[in-house]
Amino acid sequence: MKTQVNLQAYNSFGFHVMAKHFIEINDARELDRLFRTPEYKHEKHLVLSGGNNILFTNDFFDGIVIYMNNKGIKTVADDGEKVVVRVQAGEDWPEFVRKMVEKGLYGVENLAHIPGKVGAAPVQNIGAYGMELKDSFLKCEAVNLETGRKRTFDNKECVFGYRSSIFKGMLKGQYVITSVEFQLSKHGELRLDYGNIRSYLSEHGMDNPSLQQLHDAICAIRDAKLPDPKVTGNAGSFFKNPVIKAAQFEVLQQQYPDIPHYDEPDGKVKVPAGWLIEKAGWKGWHDEHVGVYEKQALVLVHFGNGKGEDIVYLAKQIQKSVEEKFGILISPEVNFV
């Protein structure tokens, strides 16, 4: 275990945050040893994965940061059509997707290029371009941070929802995910209907794309719209897209006939927070340290030398003005620590 470690490279916002203690886990079995240390018994702890969906609101974490970096991708079942792949939590998510696509396995291709690690993906049920992690998630192994006991969670037990799961809800902070199993297929239908995927492909002469071509197109679309955290600090979408009642939506639509929206199965309507934030005048706003990304208003960015509290303040101002203009309270997708 190290002491006084700078977490700047471990949070995609790139904030300078010191951790009192820091331990890197390269094999899930090392957790047992950690649980027996005196530090673990006395200090609070935080499980850190890729740090791509986290906002440190203070510049000191007074406890133990457990950094999951265990590696390994293994095929555990193959019936000629369905393939089950077990992935250790510390594997890089976009790298895993790239490998599956190269093998010709369908099921995670639309989730290409989402920064982060595999172990964090179920926590917020990552999603993009009409696909969510829960669509191919079979089960995960997790360890109880209090008792040290292992437990398997199947798809149902994870209670997946839009950018949520039991690990973000009822069991928040109680488990560390050590590995995830996915059920993938050797054949599949590509999902091309979301947003501008089809138009992008056809502009590039790919009306009938292969699995690999779709993967590469999604990487290009994301690159064009979302800032690279290695260059500009950010945590992807900062807010969730709010889901509102049909009656409220109809009133909004009369005022703004061009408002983009997605109908939800329960009759409610999901409205893009990025659109609301842009209409409230925030897109491209910035001061010296933080701002609202100029190509996608849902992403808050850190240009350097700022603090987590600058983002907290900006987020609050955005929430307030969106609520004043549209009567909709948008809530953060990013986890605050």
* Chain residues in the site for ligand EPU (CB under 6 A): 128-129, 195, 225, 236-237, 240-241, 260, 272, 274-275, 278, 283, 296-298, 333
Please tell me which residue in 163, 191, 321, 323 is annotated as part of the active site.
163
CA-based R_g, the chain, Å? 20
Please confirm, yes or no, whether 333 is among the known catalytic residues.
yes
What is the nearest approach in angstroms of ligand EPU to the Cβ of residue 133? 11
Q: Which of 91, 109, 141, 333 is catalytic?
A: 333
237 catalytic per annotation? yes
Active site annotation includes 163: yes
- Using a 10 angstrom Cβ sphere, with 0-12 exposed, 13-18 middle and 19 or more buried, the burial of residue 176 is buried
Our CA dihedral for 181, 53, 271, 225, rounded to 10 degrees, sits at -100
Measured from the CB of residue 161, what is the shortest distance to ligand EPU in angstroms?
A: 12
C-alpha 104/C-alpha 91 separation (Å) is: 19
Q: How far is the CB of 248 from ligand EPU (least distance, A)?
A: 18
DSSP 135: G
Q: Which is nearer to ligand EPU, 290 or 297 (CB)?
A: 297
Q: Which is nearer to ligand EPU, 209 or 242 (CB)?
A: 242
Q: Which helix (DSSP H) or strand (DSSP E) does residue 158 occupy?
A: none
Judged by beta carbon, residue 104 or residue 130, the one nearer ligand EPU is 130
90 versus 227: smaller Cβ distance to ligand EPU:
227
Q: Which residues contact 21 (CB under 8 A, 6 or more apart)?
A: 1, 2, 3, 5, 39, 43, 63, 64, 65
User: Least distance to ligand EPU from the beta carbon of 131, Å?
Assistant: 8
Region at 18 (left for phi over 0; alpha for psi -120 to 50; beta for the rest): beta
Give the nearest distance from C-beta 238 to ligand EPU in angstroms: 8
- Give the other-Cβ count within 10 Å of 81's Cβ: 8
The angle that helices 211-225 and 93-102 make with each other, rounded to 10 degrees, is 150
Residue (5 or 97) nearer to ligand EPU, CB: 97
Catalytic residues: 163, 237, 333
